[in-house]
Amino acid sequence: MRYRILGNTQVHHLDGSPVALGGARLRALLTVLALRPGRAAPVSVLVDEVWGDEPPADAPAALQALVGRLRRALGHDTVFSAESGGYGLAAEADDVDLPRFERLTADGARALEEGDPAKAAVLLDDALGLWAGPALADLPDPGPRAARAEARRLDARRLRLAAAVALGRAEETLAELGALCAGHPLDEPLHALRIRALRAAGRPAEALAAYESVRATLAEELGADPGPELRAIHAELLNPVAPTAPAAPPVPGNLRARLTSFVGRTAELADIRADLETARLVTLLGPGGAGKTRLSQEAAEGVAPNWPDGVWLAELAPVDDPAGVPAAVLTAVGARKTVLHAAGAEELRAADPRAGDPAVRLAEHCAPRRMLLLLDNCEHVIGAAAELAEYLLARCPGLVVLATSREPLGVPGELVRPVEPLPAPFAVRLLAERGAAARPGFRVEDDPEAAAEICRRLDGLPLAIELAAARLRMLTPRQIADRLDDRFRLLTSGSRTVLPRQQTLRAVVDWSWELLEEPERAVLGRLSVFAGGCDLAAAEEVCAEVGASGGAGAPDVAGVLGSLVDKSLVVAAPDAGGEMRYRLLETVAEYAAERLDDAGDRAAAERRHLTHYRELARRADADLRGPRQRTAIDTFERESENLRTALRRCVALGDEQEALCLVHALLWYWNMRDLRTESRYWAQEAAALGPDPFAEPVVPAPPVLTRCTDAPPPLDPDVLQEARRGVRLVQLASMDHEMDQWITPEALERLRAIASAYRPGLPQTCRMPGSLWFFPVVLTGDHARLQEVLDVTVRTCEELGDEWELAAALQMRANILANRTEWAGDARADADASLVLFQRLGDAWGAAEALGARGEAREKRGEFALAAEDFTAALQYAEQLGAQAQVTLLRARLAAMLLEMGEAERGEAMLREILAQGNRAGIEARPAARLFLTMWLGRTGRIDEAREQVEVMLAEFTAANLVLFEGFVVGVRAWLDNEQGRFAEALAGARIALDRAQAPLSKMVAPEMFAVHMLTAARAIAGLGGDENLRDAARLVGAHDALLPVGHFMAPVQAEERAEAERVVRAALDDAAYEAAYAEGGGLRVEEATALVRRDRKN
């Protein structure tokens, strides 16, 4: 990664793509760490520099949380912890722009000292190009370090200007030197440089006036005379030495001065200049509008002194006839009238039958010279340009050719240098500079999101960005960004002085399209149906031409694709696995899509795309349950945009069977990646395409052994109907955060109808999504049937010989049994059996789930160390798969165990790190982590912070309608009220929590919570005082003990609460009264105990 702190703090991957960072504190922390790459800073130093004069109450904990957020943004290994305390950035000095700037500046100064101003200029340009704004801008107090950096920046500017003067470009430096001297009136070396530049530019009178001005300023401000350097140059001005030799003539050539600034490309310039020293033909290759022409001229200008016979630009864009290329180049180099008189010239003409040919005359001109020839825009005359280049290079030993083209020339010895789109920071900078020129006062900082979106959607193409900047005269950045779906109509206001093909975005792409053969046009158009790129197999299948008779034609798609890559219309790059992927820049994709419509080929291409990705999803889904699991996950992630596009298209077509097949093929991947919103959305879209299988009267489901993904559509009627049931079950299971939608009488009737469609033992209920049938069983409160469903499902899987389904059924039963200790069965045995099966199958995700279930079973028995071992082992499996939601939930469970095992500091830090991830932590992990942390804060006396966490949870649950957890949280708040003596509020909260605990899902997941909330109510009622309240509190303690599920193990917090409740009551009642009331409470039913809590009371 590359870190930028010279300006707003930024991080970029090596390919230039930005890394998203959080708020100001996170950027401040990264800035502080980046100031010390590879070295740790103590906690006290980090706190002082990140928060300044306003440190948080618990600064080390806040810093730890901030470090956790930074690790999640950059990668865990990026920030290391020091054994002695503190943190550091795992980076080399050159990975950070400030140290890199200092090194380049020092190297530039050394080169200037050693008499190599050209090298110094390149190094110092690179150094100054790293600056993007004020140094350390994101620190609360940049202080002396920023001042030192700014001073070094001034040094670098001075050195760069000195290099320019040494290269004979004094005139170019005067404006900048004047501005710098005005800003630094007492900087004598700077003024000395300006005076030398004035003298070198032939302005001795102005140089003397400048000396007099600085002398007067020094006298007035400091009461001092000029120093030795200024006095020496003054003496030289008064006594000029006559030149001993005439000034060197200007270097020949025809490069024109550029009228606009050149942005970015520092590394590319250095690479190209190095290429020109070692290769004789260098071709800059890139799509239209990528900035090849400008880059070639900037590179050539930088090395012009190396070519005594000049740098010559031949613009081939206006040449319509390939035969006219040699004549055009002959004219460009000023040789049309040149006659060769050198020794041997006549013999050369006599030996070459093409002596009157412009190519021969050009060779005659170039042969005795050392020169650099720029052949610009070769693509439309590529054959003629290649032939001429090869002819000249063979005959002119001192000639080097720098070409720009959208495809390689294909000449032996050619070095191809791709010109990529501008990286995001430079693209935005280009928009800023051109935008300010189009509309004075424009600043990208006023709407950075829109500016970044414009540059991203225009693929970082300089020409497109410049066309967008021209539109800023009448539109805001946001308006431009919002109109980029119609970019070819929008971006039509280019410079009138450039070639017509560069005046509009459409003309840029038209130019490339017109150069294509018909097969290339067909393949390019069909590539536009992909989203996010494709591999070669997909391109060959989707882009294969189909003849009018319906038979397949025989285009060489791979060959055509290679040609389109060569012509810079298709971007080819390896994916993470090393396989090549092919994609279109967004601008090219939009253009190609229009051409596909014009050809009437869209429907057929989109159908082939849909078929290909449906089959890919079916194959990958099967691999998700075995040793190829990671490969399958990578496939789904890599092709996610294409799969969504296929789903959108089959839904738009109303093709129910295709939609059902695709959704079912993706379900398990969505489940593994915790993509519930996506799962629910597409299940809903697919369900809407067909009839409701659970509509009254509900038809009982027959046994269905075949999955709808076992074969492509069309589907057998029974399989089709089961697929319809499946997407409806997915909708239901994905709505666990909106359970209040299922507690109305109408909703409960619907749930009963769904539950009635199945019976235990059906083969389809042993696998996803039929196994989700247990949700309506749970939500209707039929716990006896739930137990039957679990047991019969395990037996059915055993009878059918379905190992994976058996492992999943055992894991599910283990999860339920861990929470239902009163049921017959052994959760740990089921988890053990599930783990063995998943491991044998090579299913890492399943193994993690089985270990998690065993850990939960051990936790429920108070075996915290063993549970921690299971959660740790499960984490290793989950991390192998990159299953982030699974990882964070397991970390939360492990952290809870650490709190109970005496490793409180580590456990609390893990919980805070999870919470710092925000939504990325996952739907389940975040509320679990916050609940665990809140309980721990309450137990350790940090009540105020615990209350803050409660309020955050309640706000989150209000937004998500998570009724199950809301009951837990209200109960925790009531517990905290008791801790602070707020007994009336505690009782009110306990009553709400008791209601929530009687919901069907709560009874299934946490059947002990009713008794737990009863205990909270007992403490609150006892706290209200009064003899009858105290007796009722004793009764509720007895009810708590009696109503706990059989075999339930009380967690430490629950045991502490029970002991406190009994202590409070016994302190006020004698033993006989307590025992009598306690015994009475032990005989209460749930309804009676609830009524006792709800009784009106006075304190």
Q: Specify the higher pLDDT residue, 252 or 48.
A: 48
So what's the pLDDT on residue 646?
Answer: 93
So what's the pLDDT on residue 496?
Answer: 42
Region 506-526: mean pLDDT is: 81
CATH 3.30.360.10 fits 266-418, yes or no: no
Distance CA 442, CA 92 (A): 37
Q: Which of 286, 576, 263, 531 is nearest to 403 (CA)?
A: 286
Residue with tokens 């130019």: 511
Indicate if the pLDDT at residue 333 is higher than 50: yes
Q: Specify the higher pLDDT residue, 690 or 131.
A: 690
So what's the pLDDT on residue 344?
Answer: 37
Containing 284, the helix (H) or strand (E) segment is strand 281-285
Average pLDDT, the chain: 83
CA distances from 53 to 67, 141, 538, 730 (A): 20, 9, 59, 53
Name the residue ranges covered by the structural domains of the chain: 266-418, 424-508, 962-1094
Judge contact between 207 and 237, C-beta under 8 A: yes
Distance CA 872, CA 851 (A): 9
So what's the pLDDT on residue 209?
Answer: 86
Indicate if the pLDDT at residue 744 is higher than 90: no
Record the tokens describing residue 590, joined without a space: 């939009």
For 101, half-sphere exposure in the C-beta direction (CA atoms, 13 angstrom radius) is 26
So what's the pLDDT on residue 959?
Answer: 38
Region 662-681: mean pLDDT is: 90
Q: Could you read off the pLDDT of 767-813 as tens digits, one per residue?
A: 999 999 888 887 777 777 888 889 999 999 999 999 999 999 999 99
Indicate if the pLDDT at residue 599 is higher than 80: yes
Record the tokens describing residue 639, joined without a space: 């092709």
DSSP for residue 1045: P
Region 647-663: mean pLDDT is: 94
Enumerate long-range contacts of 267-274, CB under 8 Å, 24 or more apart. Answer: 267/126, 268/295, 268/299, 268/417, 268/419, 269/122, 269/125, 269/295, 269/298, 269/299, 269/302, 270/122, 270/126, 271/417, 272/296, 272/299, 272/402, 272/417, 273/122, 273/299, 273/302, 273/303
Q: Could you read off the pLDDT of 222-246 as tens digits, one per residue?
A: 878 888 888 888 888 887 765 544 4
**232-246, 447-461, 911-925, 937-951 — which one is most confidently predicted on average?**
937-951
Residue with tokens 């790129």: 533
State the pairing for strand pair 281-285/87-89. unpaired
So what's the pLDDT on residue 491?
Answer: 59
The string over 958-996, giving b where at least 16 C-beta atoms fall within 10 Å of a residue's C-beta and e elsewhere, is eeeebbbbbbbbbbbbbbbbbbeebbebbbbbbbbbbeb
Q: Could you read off the pLDDT of 455-489 as tens digits, one per residue?
A: 888 777 787 777 777 777 777 888 878 776 666 66
Beta bridge partners of 80: 88
How large a percentage of the chain has pLDDT more than 90?
Answer: 25
Indicate if the pLDDT at residue 581 is higher than 60: yes
So what's the pLDDT on residue 725?
Answer: 94
How large a percentage of the chain has pLDDT more than 70?
Answer: 91
Judge contact between 290 and 421, C-beta under 8 A: yes
Q: Could you read off the pLDDT of 833-887 as tens digits, one per residue?
A: 999 999 999 999 999 999 999 999 899 888 999 999 999 999 999 988 888 888 8
Query: Of 191-195, 262-266, 735-739, 940-944, which gets the smallest average pLDDT?
Result: 735-739
So what's the pLDDT on residue 487?
Answer: 65
Distance CA 335, CA 371 (A): 13
Q: In sequence order, what are the residues at sequence separation of 6 or more whose Cβ sits closer than 8 angstroms to the Cβ of residue 35?
A: 5, 96, 98, 136, 145
Indicate if the pLDDT at residue 551 is higher than 50: no
Distance CA 270, CA 864 (A): 60
* Single-letter residue type at 648: R
Q: Specify the higher pLDDT residue, 995 or 444.
A: 995
Q: Could you read off the pLDDT of 385-421 as tens digits, one per residue?
A: 999 999 999 888 889 999 988 888 888 888 988 888 8
* Single-letter residue type at 891: R
So what's the pLDDT on residue 717?
Answer: 94
Distance CA 1000, CA 752 (A): 13
Judge contact between 203 and 163, C-beta under 8 A: no
Judge contact between 978 and 1019, C-beta under 8 A: yes
Question: For the packed helices 884-900 and 904-916, what is the interaxial angle rounded to 10 degrees?
Answer: 150
DSSP for residue 46: H
